[in-house]
Structure 1
């Protein structure tokens, strides 16, 4: 069911870039999944793709936009958010408007991942993996599925979870497919599991409908395991989150094309900020939403005084610029960029900001990177050289002499 796309680049390499925005997590693994999706999308579309986060991880949206503004003239924002709730409708649009006022940069804002055939196909595969582990088959046994989302105060987003669950049920031989939530709204996962137990299915497959393997995903697994222990006559097991499955790239590619061609469609007919919905009348007009977004932004500013918070933005010791202009890009500089960033994140001592650069004027000697304030340039850098540059130069101040292109 996975769709195909014409993803050939239509502009020069540095004329357009994508910013993939994730929520951010206190679990490093979850944030790494967003960064991997950004790297994979860059390979797929052959244009620069950087990752940014709303909270709990770096870089923040304004930092990422500032870096990309130096090397591109058009930026398209692609959301990792699964549904359109306050982050998609308020927080990110506010950050984009602030970026437009700050930078001479065309910014296109895409929509959330939403309900897409590739995602339904992915969920079907996730369910199949759990069935195999439990030793059941939907065409032979009574198999119930629970799609568990994080839950939102936005009825539009919660409604889409139910729609997604129904579409997963249609045309498949599951006994039933139910929508549930880990918090904020109802029905909760616990309520749904206990309700399904009354139907005495042979197995219950729980699908965490979350992108990363974060705290909430673990909670889904824990609650499912507790239910399995309490109900020995029903086999229950939770599957994997969406993760970095390549089918998500199909969805990102579609959302990118929609944003850059001005064809983004939002569900305005059921948006609590635009129409009167029972129980949400005070939200119409978006004033409360904008106040929330501003307050949310201020909470990040307040955290910068705390040494143990990820929002502390002191100036780094080194700035590493990686040329991602056409020639260096064709020689593999995007892969070098990602490997440098990975090695820096893995290091306990590296204090450096690693960013893209437009042409450094050394075409043919690439991939080329420059380390400042040292004024050391490295040429013909491969992915295997990234670890030495980080561990020797950035960690210990020792130049990797055989890679030196020129010292300024």
Structure 2
């Protein structure tokens, strides 16, 4: 590992606390592996963005292994990250750049979500699961595949538990939204509702979720709500990254499994990402419901 740099790529948040938490995570990960060289950067809304992060990682390294520290792959992971790595290869022709898969929605993340749900049930004094609704709350994307991955998690939680209702909601971009799913579950007789956010770290949308839950508690005083938290520091996340580093030594030239996919080619043809997230840190004037972007940290 002495000649290999690991580059942890976060999404980046307009809430600086979210970015700080990722830096803290990286520091804790370094403490676990003091011989590893671990660098960090962000796709947007941060001081160190992709180009600078890749250059820092390449300095003095023979290999750079990029880890998208993101739960779901949508536009940023499928288009901007591969493009930035291709440009870095041109700037550093002697360095072998490779990129492992993003965190994804596999059994490791399911275990983390199940732990969140178990803690929420204890907070509700372990009520009858048949009268307790579960809402898995993601940030939403214009990429149907990313939304489908979250739907898979909801189904797996349903299969592994005894809840009558395990539903899916999103904070933006797509539907249904949290308020409408809560309304449906109340109509179906749920007397407790556990909301499990699928977020790695704090950010603008986690703040929004807190405000939404406060309003919902006022609207439905007869319902007991329990809200989970972001889970980026869960031991399961460290273990998942350890497995990626230890088990995914990519051959030279390897990139993401979706590099060159139809989604990326079509979006590039339509110039959906003609603004540069990799050059300077800046703020967008639009909200997170923009139809073509997967903004806000996962």
> Which range, TM-score by smaller chain?
0.7 to 0.9
How far apart in 2 are the matches of 1:107 and 1:210? 28
Deviation at 1:131, TM superposition (A): 2.0
Partner of 2:119: 129
Whether 1:256 aligns to 2:236 is: no
Whether 1:205 aligns to 2:222 is: no
Whether 1:219 aligns to 2:199 is: no
Conservation of the 8 A alpha-carbon contact between 1:126 and 1:207:
yes
Unaligned runs of at least 5 residues, structure 1: 1-10, 275-282, 305-408
How far apart in 1 are the matches of 2:249 and 2:69? 17
How far apart in 2 are the matches of 1:39 and 1:67? 17
Larger RCO of the pair (alpha carbons < 8 Å, separation 6+) = 2
The match for 1:288 among 268, 280, 293 is: 268
Partner of 1:115: 105
The match for 1:158 among 147, 158, 173 is: 147
Deviation at 1:164, TM superposition (A): 1.0
SS in 2 for 1:84: coil
CA-to-partner distance for each residue in 1:21-58, whole Å, 9 max, x for gaps? 00111222211221122223334444111110011112
Partner of 2:7: 19
Unaligned runs of at least 5 residues, structure 2: 284-298
SS in 1 for 2:160: coil
Larger gyration radius, structure 1 or structure 2: 1
How far apart in 2 are the matches of 1:162 and 1:168? 10
Q: Give structure 1 regions of 4+ aligned residues with deviation exceeding 6 angstroms.
A: none
Deviation at 1:128, TM superposition (A): 2.0
Deviation at 1:285, TM superposition (A): 3.3
Conservation of the 8 A alpha-carbon contact between 1:20 and 1:79:
yes
Whether 1:178 aligns to 2:167 is: yes
The match for 1:62 among 39, 51, 54 is: 51
**Over the residues paired in the alignment, what is the CA RMSD in angstroms?**
2.6
Conservation of the 8 A alpha-carbon contact between 1:86 and 1:289:
no
The alignment of Structure 1 onto Structure 2 pairs a total of residues equal to 279
CA-to-partner distance for each residue in 1:203-262, whole Å, 9 max, x for gaps? 111111111111101211221221121112211231101231121012222333454235
How far apart in 2 are the matches of 1:70 and 1:267? 27
TM-score in terms of structure 1 length: 0.63
How far apart in 2 are the matches of 1:83 and 1:138? 32
SS in 2 for 1:144: strand
Partner of 2:293: none
Change (3 A) 1:26 1:285: closer
How far apart in 1 are the matches of 2:256 and 2:83? 18
How far apart in 2 are the matches of 1:267 and 1:95? 15
How far apart in 2 are the matches of 1:287 and 1:86? 8
List aligned pairs for 1:384-399, cutoff 5 A.
none
SS in 2 for 1:121: helix
